[in-house]
DNA sequence: GTTACTGCAAACGATTTGCAAGTGG
DNA sequence: CCACTTGCAAATCGTTTGCAGTAAC
């Protein structure tokens, strides 16, 4: 990630911690740093492994805590595609793309779309001040669609 | 729910079961029936209780199984707003509304919008066959926005 | 100093799984 | 009758929680 943007994000985190009178610990900043290295979704377990690999020891409990704080701060966004695992993403990344979720294999693909933001801003939301959005489109990925088609062909032989 | 619509849904379920060579058990139909009684989101535990109240005994395992089948059939839709509990909804209901989620108080409001479906259909999704979508807009509900404004006013006095 | 934060391990609880008994086709 | 379904209970595993030690302010 662009280091200028990363600094922006770090500064907004600092501002949030100050406003909420929360402590600025090295764990919190190290975790945010590592999160910025993901170019797409991540989950707690992967984040934990990456931090260990980077030789930074943090407990899972702290990760869960920090990720909650970052979510409250509006810096990351929570995605729950499967029952098993919560995924997160930098809100900055999430803003301009939508998520294509395969109903068969649960794979998630991100799709950038320049019009999306504009489209959604045309929606009227009375008595509600929108900040950001997430659009999930469920369906079949090319691979599963293919598989399904082959099965149908087989059956009709 | 309109009994005509309910019949439509039941018939589409039957068609699905036939096509997939799955069995048409009384449990499956009783569960679908009960699901139709919800006017909004529901979860497995509430569904279980309602069925027991209606004097229909089913195990949780069967509920989980059936709900998966119904999801595959495209009759219900899975929502995962909180970490704790998966929620479901009839797709028929979900199709034309979006979810306004307050970042302060976590309240969820459903908002019907006639344009939404059309807007989202204009999006191109290469190598992906869309089936349905969910749009979540995060922001501040009127109440929390108000509270925030009052605090700001107080601070600037 | 005070008290929020961290780390560890144990607890939790929704969902999943294994298997014997039941029943649709 | 075959094998898909159900019910029950046990297992699973991501997440949460309690508490003692540590460090931010």
pLDDT tens for A52-111 read: 999 999 999 999 999 999 999 999 999 988 888 899 999 988 877 899 988 777 788 989
Q: Which helix (H) or strand (E) holds B81?
A: none
Q: pLDDT per position in chain B (157 positions), as tens?
A: 889 999 999 999 999 999 999 999 999 999 999 999 998 889 999 999 999 999 999 999 999 999 999 999 999 998 887 777 899 999 988 877 898 988 777 778 889 888 888 888 888 999 999 988 989 898 888 988 888 777 666 555 4
List the single protein residue with the shortest CA to C1' distance from D12.
A84
Q: Which helix (H) or strand (E) holds B23?
A: none
CATH code: domain of residue B74: 1.10.10.10
B38 is written with which tokens? 């919800």
pLDDT reading at A49 higher than 70 = yes
Burial track A120-131 (b if 16+ CB lie within 10 A, e otherwise):
beebebeebbee
What residue numbers bound the domain in which A24 lies?
A: 3-156
| Cα angle: A79, vertex A80, A83; to 5 degrees | 165
Scanning every strand, the nucleotide with its C1' closest to A24's CA turns out to be D24
Protein CA A148 to sugar C1' D15 (Å):
35
Q: In this structure, are residues A65 and A103 in contact, taking their beta carbons and an 8 Å threshold?
A: no
- Nearest chain A CA: its distance from B25 CA (Å): 24
B106 is written with which tokens? 């976590």
Q: What pLDDT is stored for residue B151 in this prediction? A: 67
Q: What pLDDT is stored for residue A156 in this prediction? A: 54
Please give the Cα distance from B11 to B1 (Å, whole number).
Answer: 15
Give A55's strand partners.
none
Q: What pLDDT is stored for residue B143 in this prediction? A: 87
Q: In this structure, are residues A54 and A38 in contact, taking their beta carbons and an 8 Å threshold?
A: no
pTM comes to: 0.85
Tell me what the mean pLDDT of segment A118-127 comes to: 89
Q: What pLDDT is stored for residue A157 in this prediction? A: 44
Full strand arrangement of the beta sheet holding B108-112: A108-112, A97-102, A128-141, B128-141, B97-102, B108-112
Q: What pLDDT is stored for residue B154 in this prediction? A: 59
- Nearest chain B CA: its distance from A4 CA (Å): 26
Residues of A near B (Cβ–Cβ under 8 Å) read 72, 74, 80-81, 83, 86, 98, 100, 102-103, 109, 111, 113, 115-116, 119-120, 122-125, 127-142, 145
Phi, psi values for residue B30, rounded to 5° = -65, -40
Task: Count up the domains in chain A and report the number.
Answer: 1
């Amino acid at each position: 990630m662009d280091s200028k943007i990363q600094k922006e994000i770090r500064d907004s985190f600092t501002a949030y911690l100050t406003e909420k009178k929360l402590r600025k610990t090295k764990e919190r900043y190290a975790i945010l740093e590592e999160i910025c290295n993901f170019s797409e979704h991540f989950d707690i377990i992967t984040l934990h492994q990456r931090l260990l690999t980077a030789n930074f020891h943090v407990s899972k409990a702290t990760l869960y805590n920090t990720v909650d704080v970052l979510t409250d701060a509006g810096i990351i966004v929570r995605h729950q595609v499967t029952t098993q695992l919560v995924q997160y993403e930098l809100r900055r990344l999430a803003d301009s793309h939508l998520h294509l979720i395969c109903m068969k294999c649960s794979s998630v693909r991100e799709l950038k779309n320049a019009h999306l933001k504009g489209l959604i801003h045309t929606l009227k939301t009375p008595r509600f001040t929108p900040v950001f959005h997430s659009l999930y489109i469920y369906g079949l990925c090319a691979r599963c669609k293919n598989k399904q088609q082959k099965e149908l062909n087989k059956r009709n032989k």
